[in-house]
């Protein structure tokens, strides 16, 4: 009885092994989904009463920012440039230099960027000046920081504006890198077409 039970068990194990070996194995490829990027095309943001204008992508929407950490924004000129296709936004905050100290605004912009240094592999800042008289600094943050692209621009007399690109996703430099690079071109176009009123 014991011998026949061992034979039957051995036969079942052998049959399972033979059947299992005939199944097709397909390994999973390592990589990320291909993203089809739209063509870079722009339209003008020039709303009455706003102290600035600029060009932004046709595949984005400008939304009025209604909250700032559960409070109202300090003025009505805070906006978000929404990229629904990429689940990302450029958060734009505007400050009137007459009501604020320019050095403090610049230091705050640097401090907000360098708060990401715990997750960043590098932070590169680049001074910029456009033909429209707009000057400022563009920040590229490497690594798995919450935001990889930030900037501030000012006329040094009346206006100060800060922008930061965030995604509705966990920060991952590898998967977000191509989208960050694509939207960086749009951020730089926004800056280069930016005008104070």
Task: Give the DSSP letter string of 61-114.
Answer: EEEE---BTTB--SSTT-EEEEETTTTEEEEEEEEEGGGS-HHHHHHHHHHHHH
> Environment class of residue 74 by beta-carbon count within 10 Å: exposed (0-12), middle (13-18) or buried (19+)?
middle
* Residue 7, domain member (yes or no): no
Summarised one tens digit per residue, pLDDT across range 131-175 is 898 999 999 998 888 788 999 999 999 999 999 999 987 766 666
* Residue 30, domain member (yes or no): no
* Residue 187, domain member (yes or no): yes
Q: What percent of the chain has pLDDT over 70?
A: 82
* Residue 53, domain member (yes or no): yes
* Residue 70, domain member (yes or no): yes
Give which of 86, 83, 89 is closest to 60, Cα–Cα. 83
* pLDDT value for 129: 95
Domain range for 186 is: 46-196
Mean residue pLDDT across the chain: 86
* Residue 8, domain member (yes or no): no
97 token code pair:
């230099």
* Residue 36, domain member (yes or no): no
* pLDDT value for 25: 61
Q: Residue 141 maps to which CATH number? A: 3.40.1000
Summarised one tens digit per residue, pLDDT across range 52-90 is 999 999 999 999 987 665 677 778 899 999 999 999 999
* Residue 83, domain member (yes or no): yes
For residue 182, give the 3-state DSSP assignment. helix
Domains identified in the chain, total number: 1
């Amino acid at each position: 009885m014991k011998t026949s039970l061992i034979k039957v068990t051995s036969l079942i194990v052998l049959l399972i092994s033979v059947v299992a070996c005939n199944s097709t194995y397909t390994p999973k490829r390592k990589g990320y989904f291909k993203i089809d990027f739209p063509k870079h095309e722009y339209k003008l943001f020039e709303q009455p009463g706003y102290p600035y204008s600029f060009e932004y992508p046709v595949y984005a929407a400008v939304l009025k920012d209604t909250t700032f950490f559960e409070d109202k924004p300090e003025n009505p000129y805070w906006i978000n440039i929404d990229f629904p296709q990429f689940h990302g936004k450029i958060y734009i905050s505007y400050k009137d230099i007459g009501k604020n100290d320019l050095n403090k605004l610049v230091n705050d912009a640097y401090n907000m960027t360098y708060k990401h240094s715990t997750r960043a592999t590098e932070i590169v800042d680049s001074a910029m000046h456009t033909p429209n008289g707009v000057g400022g600094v563009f920040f590229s943050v490497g690594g798995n920081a919450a935001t990889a692209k930030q900037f501030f621009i000012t006329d040094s007399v009346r206006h100060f504006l800060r922008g930061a690109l965030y995604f509705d996703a966990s920060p991952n430099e590898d998967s977000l890198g191509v989208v960050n690079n694509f939207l960086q071109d749009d951020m730089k176009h926004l800056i280069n077409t930016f005008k104070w009123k």
